[in-house]
């Protein structure tokens, strides 16, 4: 498959009064044309910082200290501010988490959706407004022609998120970044937004990077998954491999934390402990203090990526040939069987089965 985005050895620090926070530590991944890559992890793992660097939207105290971000063989990090502005919202667009803060409360939504077209000079005002109406209809806004004059407060939360998606796709971008776009929505609306994004991907032929902390959402939209922890990717593979053959104990913890209709306990599982202080990252595996399966070497040396299949790699010493054999927790295996049963019964959709590249990361 054609590679459209390639992030290589990205390193990002944040300058604080306490010192340099190493927020992103040698992150590499790529995105293929037409696919959906999900980046998953707890809050603070570095997901949003990673994708904001692609858009040139980092905070003033953030500094990229190493790496490359290649979009169609052009290094975004070497572009001028003007070149990045031309790229942003045109070739690469972003859907943000909270639709209410993403919309201007003083401007009708029709003008807001048309604005990217006018900023990039692609159309005159009349043509831009016509495209805005067309895209609002595409994202499922009923009676879009009349609602173009309405303001954000006149829409429900799910409708506002549809408007934000319309703003992001109005230029038919080649890459669409969705930063936890369903977090503020109830479960029913979440499902509608996920279905909408999958439908739009087919219609406008775009590639998607989907950021989430919810592995349940990933099952319905992703082709491949990258799991992040403490500023690093610790496991990546196809969505089937991550759900049915996870190898990193952190991935086990995320899967075990997912509530299901089959959950009978009053208390949900939570990964014990807290993430490390990235002012002074540990020498070994950052997850080791929270990992009940940690080996002595986990506290001494950072594990490399071990190959599981041509598409599946995990950075855990448990995959070393000399490591003891440890099976995933029983709860994980039960959850995997539950998902198989749900898919077999048609209660949830099957995972995407698109062909993927052999190499996900460098």
**Same domain for 349 and 269:** yes
Instruction: Give the Cα separation of 215 and 126 in Å (integer).
Output: 42
Instruction: Give the Cα separation of 171 and 88 in Å (integer).
Output: 10
Give the range of the structural domain holding residue 151, as residue numbers without chain letter. 99-172
The model carries a pTM of 0.89
**Same domain for 233 and 212:** yes
**Positive or negative torsion for Cα 62, 65, 69, 74:** positive
- How confident is the model over 335-344, as a mean pLDDT? 63
pLDDT, tens digit, for every residue of 213-241?
Answer: 888 788 778 999 999 999 999 999 999 89
Structure tokens at 237: 């593979």
> What is the count of structural domains for the chain?
2
Whether residue 141 is predicted with pLDDT greater than 90 in this model: the reply is yes
**Same domain for 268 and 185:** yes
Whether residue 351 is predicted with pLDDT greater than 50 in this model: the reply is no
**Same domain for 283 and 190:** yes
| CATH number where 294 lies | 3.40.50.300
pLDDT > 70 in the chain, percent:
89
Helix (H, G, I), strand (E, B) or coil at 176: strand
């Amino acid at each position: 498959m054609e590679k459209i985005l390639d992030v290589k050895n990205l390193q990002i620090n944040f300058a604080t009064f306490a010192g340099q926070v190493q927020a992103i530590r040698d992150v590499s991944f790529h995105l293929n044309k037409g696919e959906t890559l999900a980046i998953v992890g707890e809050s603070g793992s570095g997901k949003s910082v990673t994708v904001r660097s692609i858009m040139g939207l980092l905070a003033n105290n953030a500094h990229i200290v190493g790496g490359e971000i290649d979009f169609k063989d052009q290094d975004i990090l070497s572009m001028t501010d003007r070149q990045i502005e031309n790229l942003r919202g045109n070739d690469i667009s972003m859907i943000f988490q909270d639709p209410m803060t993403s919309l201007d409360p003083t401007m009708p939504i029709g003008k807001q959706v048309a604005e990217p077209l006018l900023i990039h000079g692609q159309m005159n005002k009349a043509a831009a407004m016509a495209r805005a109406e067309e895209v609002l209809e595409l994202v499922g806004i009923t009676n879009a022609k009349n609602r173009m004059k309405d303001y954000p407060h006149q829409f429900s939360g799910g409708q506002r998120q549809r408007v934000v998606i319309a703003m992001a796709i109005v230029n038919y971008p080649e890459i669409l970044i969705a930063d936890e776009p369903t977090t503020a929505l109830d479960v029913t609306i979440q499902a509608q937004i996920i279905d909408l994004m999958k439908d739009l991907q087919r219609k406008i032929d775009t590639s998607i990077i989907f950021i989430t902390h919810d592995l349940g959402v990933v099952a319905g939209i992703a082709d491949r998954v990258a799991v992040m922890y403490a500023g690093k990717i610790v496991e990546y593979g196809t969505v089937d491999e991550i759900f049915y053959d996870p190898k990193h104990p952190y991935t086990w913890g995320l899967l075990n934390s997912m509530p299901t209709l089959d959950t009978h306990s009053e208390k949900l599982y939570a990964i014990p402990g807290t993430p490390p202080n990235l002012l002074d990252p540990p020498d070994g595996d950052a997850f080791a203090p929270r990992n009940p399966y940690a080996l002595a070497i986990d506290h001494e040396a950072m594990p490399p990526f071990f190959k599981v299949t041509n598409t599946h790699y995990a950075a855990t010493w448990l995959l070393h040939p000399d490591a003891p054999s440890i099976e995933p927790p029983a709860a994980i295996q039960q959850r995997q069987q539950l998902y198989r049963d749900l898919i077999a019964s048609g209660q949830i959709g099957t995972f995407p089965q698109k062909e993927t590249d052999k190499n996900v990361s460098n």
